[in-house]
Amino acid sequence: MASASVASTTVGAAMGTDGGTAGRTRAWQRARDWAEIQERMLVPLYEAVYDRLEVGPATSVLGLGCRSGLALLLAAGRGAEVVGLEPEAELRSLAQDRSLRVLSDVYRDLSPETGAGTGAGAGAGARPAAHSLVTAFEHLSCTADPLALVRDAARLTAPGGCVALATWGPPERCESAAVLGVARRLADPLRRDPYAPFALSGPGAVEQMVARAGMRLVGGGRVLCPFAYSDLESAVRGLLSTGVFDAAADYSGPRQVEKEITEALHPYRREDGSVRMLNVFRYTLAERIPERIPERSR
């Protein structure tokens, strides 16, 4: 999608300032850390949404910001037709290695007639095929313009189809809140878009965006998603792979960020060395109203 609303939060920092071999190596390592360590933490959320919507062979799923594709893989296992959008090349490659169809730009890469890849030759006004379910499981809480993302999701949904939006639950129900606070505390205090993971956790926040995007609220729920790691090192690597600490690392240095993440994790370390934090995630389901077509975000 052309909109910056679904751009990966990890692209810039993952590539590194040199943009060369070292930067690419870091990007690949972080993508693997996401796929091997962090991605599974939200499986209860994915499954809850799919169960609620009875995702199956009749469902066409588009995953916005699908990263390495586990949510799509689970939907495909239920018989759904799936396609994903992931701007970050390394994550997209890992998803494609799972035999998933994952694109870098929905408007550029989908033909409005057939849904087939058309590459850079597609016109700027091309409209991709609509889907019966569009998901935004990870990006809504960290994008700079969540309303633009919701509007884009609505536009890509078939009339009468559904959009699933996920956010962190209330901070008092999320043991990872203290760790996430490192991202804000160590970032540039003058940064225009500081990371605020719980900005959309309050009552009515997502619902207001749903209404402004021309959709109708049809349900939602809360899901317990434990963040469980075999050891402290895995926990740090997994959390860093999310990209939410990038601005903090740029401003305060990677070592300081890793040090403070490690300190914040200590209360959740168990006797066997593993780390476990209980978190609640919230999902909101909205229906695309047939007579309302939101403008495409720019």
State how far Cα 98 lies from the chain centre: 18
Radius of gyration in angstroms for the set of CA atoms belonging to the chain, rounded to a whole number: 19
Q: At what angle do helices 232-240 and 21-33 cross, to 10 degrees?
A: 110
pLDDT (tens, 9 = 90+) of the chain, 298 residues, equals 334 344 443 323 333 344 567 667 888 999 999 999 999 999 999 999 999 999 999 999 999 999 999 999 999 999 999 999 999 999 999 999 999 999 997 655 544 443 443 333 334 445 556 899 999 999 888 888 999 999 999 999 999 999 999 999 999 999 999 999 999 999 999 887 778 899 999 989 999 999 999 999 999 999 999 999 999 999 999 999 999 999 999 999 999 999 999 999 999 999 999 999 999 999 999 999 876 555 555 5
pLDDT, one tens digit per residue, over 97-152 is: 999 999 997 655 544 443 443 333 334 445 556 899 999 999 888 888 999 999 99
Break the chain into its structural domains and give their ranges: 4-176+192-227+280-288
What span, in angstroms and rounded, lies between the C-alpha atoms of 58 and 78?
Answer: 10
CA dihedral 44, 151, 85, 143 (to 10 degrees): -70
Residue 5: the pLDDT is: 44
In sequence order, the 6+-apart residues with CB closer than 8 A to the CB of 291 are none
Residue 19: the pLDDT is: 53
pLDDT, one tens digit per residue, over 79-94 is: 999 999 999 999 999 9
What span, in angstroms and rounded, lies between the C-alpha atoms of 51 and 56?
Answer: 9
Residue 64: the pLDDT is: 96
| Number of neighbouring beta carbons within 10 Å of residue 262 | 16
In sequence order, the 6+-apart residues with CB closer than 8 A to the CB of 14 are 23, 26, 27, 30, 31, 88, 90, 243, 246
What span, in angstroms and rounded, lies between the C-alpha atoms of 164 and 9?
Answer: 20
What span, in angstroms and rounded, lies between the C-alpha atoms of 62 and 171?
Answer: 29
Q: Which two tokens stand for residue 41?
A: 């933490």
- Sheet with 102-103, strands from edge to edge, namely 102-103, 81-85, 60-64, 131-136, 157-168, 280-288, 215-224
Q: Any idea which fold 4-176+192-227+280-288 has?
A: Rossmann fold (3.40.50)
Q: At what angle do helices 43-53 and 70-77 cross, to 10 degrees?
A: 40
> What ranges in 129-212 are assigned the alpha helix state H?
146-155, 177-185, 205-212
